[in-house]
Amino acid sequence: MNNLGIKAIVCDIDGTLLSDDKKLLNETKKTLINAQKAGYKVIIASSRNYFMLEEIVSQLQLDRYGGYCITLNGTIVVRCLDKKEWRHSFMEPKDAVELFNFSKKHHYLSIFESEEGLQIYLPKLLSWAMPFYYGIKLRKRYLNIRNLNFKIFGDFRFSPNHDIRIVRSSKNLVGPIIKAGFVKLVPGMDKAIEKIRNEFKYEFDIIRISKVWCDIMPKGMNKAKGLQLLEEELGFGMESMIAFGDAENDLAMIEQSRIGVAMGNGFDSLKEIADYVTTSNNANGIPYALRHYGLIKTSHLD
């Protein structure tokens, strides 16, 4: 297929594959579909769970062409064809409790994700958001009667089997917890993430996702670990992959892939270690870089 030995194209979702308004741009979509027709494997690597990715899986026809999804920052890997899974271990219960108590002490909005859904701690400072939560619950109840999927906001969607609930105490956390997320509204996240990293630098990986959000993962768990689970299945490893990303949770896979590409809109820390910086997620950065490396010859809009 090429002289670089690239056999797989790995794409982060938010800020990479999708534009800022959460759209899969036509050129990017057509390019990745035609890349699969040419023999490349396409792998989505995201902090989201698989259910949230199913619409993108369908748009890119990953189930048809043998694609994969790295979900929850590498914790669970899914083969799109038949939903076969490969898994790493989840968070220890005592660790989830420790994170909950820390977030409560420092008044952070915190979200604990399990396979059943989301458990949210809402500090008193954000009690004004409770009507939003009740609105979600009412809408979910209405759609559950009709067995329909529902969206929390944007394109973050859930099935009738997933739940979202407010948790007041660590005693009410239901595990196993896969990952946690802390939210601190601008301009507070810069100081917050420094405080979180100082407290937990030996126990967890603290990963900046956006201006207001950080993911908290078991130490050493990342998208590269998820990709490594596929080596036996694929018959090759990350030395045969080109990976695209924009945020700190993409660092490991950008570093360890044969070619690591940072999006033009990406974090500076990612651009510093990437092999190449492409155009932004709003300007078809993935096709642009694939053309740059000669992995595709046209914009694939046929």
In DSSP notation, 140-185 reads: HHHHHHTT--EEEETTEEE-TT-EEEE--SGGG--S---EEEEE--
Instruction: Report, in this order, helix, strand and coil percent for the chain, each rounded to 5.
Output: 40, 25, 35
Residue 89 has pLDDT above 70, yes or no: yes
Residue 134 has pLDDT above 70, yes or no: no
pLDDT digits (tens, 9 = 90+) for 44-57: 999 988 988 999 99
Tokens encoding 9: 């194209």
Compute the residue count for the chain: 302
Query: In 3-state terms, what secondary structure has residue 88?
Result: coil
In DSSP notation, 220-274 reads: T-SHHHHHHTTHHHHT--GGGEEEEE-SGGGHHHHHHSSEEEE-TTS-HHHHHH-
Rounded Cα–Cα distance for residues 97 and 178 (Å): 13
Tokens 């939560």 belong to residue: 133
- The pLDDT-based confidence of 301 (bands split at 50, 70, 90) is very low
Query: Of 247, 204, 241, 211, nearest to 226 (Cα)?
Result: 241
Predicted local confidence at residue 300, as pLDDT: 44
- The pLDDT-based confidence of 164 (bands split at 50, 70, 90) is confident
Question: Do residues 283 and 45 make contact, with C-beta atoms less than 8 angstroms apart?
Answer: no
**Which strands make up the sheet holding 41-45, listed edge to edge?**
85-87, 76-79, 68-71, 41-45, 8-11, 241-245, 259-262, 276-277
Predicted local confidence at residue 253, as pLDDT: 98
Give me the mean pLDDT over the 132-154 stretch: 54
Query: Of 183, 204, 292, nearest to 244 (Cα)?
Result: 292
* Burial state string for 156-168 with b = 16 or more CB within 10 A and e = fewer than 16: ebbeeebebeebe
Predicted local confidence at residue 148, as pLDDT: 46
Considering the four listed CATH numbers 1.10.1740.10, 2.40.37.10, 3.40.50.1820, 3.40.50.1000, the one that applies to the domain covering 8-88+221-292 is 3.40.50.1000
Give me the mean pLDDT over the 243-265 stretch: 98
Query: Of 246, 238, 244, 175, nearest to 207 (Cα)?
Result: 246
Distances (CA, A) of 105 to 108, 124, 301: 8, 11, 53
- The pLDDT-based confidence of 258 (bands split at 50, 70, 90) is very high
Return the domain boundaries, the chain: 8-88+221-292, 93-218
- Choose between 261 and 165: higher pLDDT: 261
Highest average pLDDT, of 14-23, 47-56, 187-196, comes from: 14-23
Predicted local confidence at residue 302, as pLDDT: 44
Tokens encoding 193: 């993430």
Rounded Cα–Cα distance for residues 202 and 219 (Å): 8
pLDDT digits (tens, 9 = 90+) for 90-128: 999 999 999 999 999 999 999 999 888 889 998 877 665
CATH number of 93-218: 3.30.1240.10
Predicted local confidence at residue 185, as pLDDT: 79
Give me the mean pLDDT over the 3-25 stretch: 96
